[in-house]
Amino acid sequence: MLARVAAAYEADPALREELNQEILLAVWKALPNWRGDASLRTFAARIAHNRAVDHVARQASRPRSAVLDEALPSGAPSPLDTLEQRDRHERLMAAVRRLPLPLRQVTVQTLEGFTPAEIAEVLGVNANTVSIRLTRAKAALKLEMEKG
Give, for all 148 residues of the chain, the pLDDT tens digit: 899 899 999 988 999 999 999 999 999 999 999 998 888 988 999 999 999 999 999 988 888 777 777 777 778 888 899 999 999 989 989 999 999 999 999 999 998 899 999 999 989 999 999 999 999 999 999 998 888 6
Q: In whole angstroms, what is the distance from residue 51 CA to residue 29 CA?
A: 13
Q: How much is the pLDDT for 148?
A: 65
Asked, for residue 69, whether it belongs to a domain, the answer is: no
Q: How much is the pLDDT for 106?
A: 93
Residues 96 and 139 in one domain: yes
Asked, for residue 124, whether it belongs to a domain, the answer is: yes
Q: How much is the pLDDT for 63?
A: 84
The secondary structure of residue 45, as a DSSP letter, is: H
Q: In whole angstroms, what is the distance from residue 120 CA to residue 89 CA?
A: 26
Q: How much is the pLDDT for 47?
A: 93
| Residue 107, number of CB atoms within 10 A of its CB | 22
Asked, for residue 100, whether it belongs to a domain, the answer is: yes
Instruction: Domain of residue 123: give its range.
Output: 92-147
Asked, for residue 75, whether it belongs to a domain, the answer is: no
Asked, for residue 78, whether it belongs to a domain, the answer is: no
**How many domains, in total, are found in the chain?**
2
Q: In whole angstroms, what is the distance from residue 40 CA to residue 32 CA?
A: 12
Q: How much is the pLDDT for 74?
A: 76
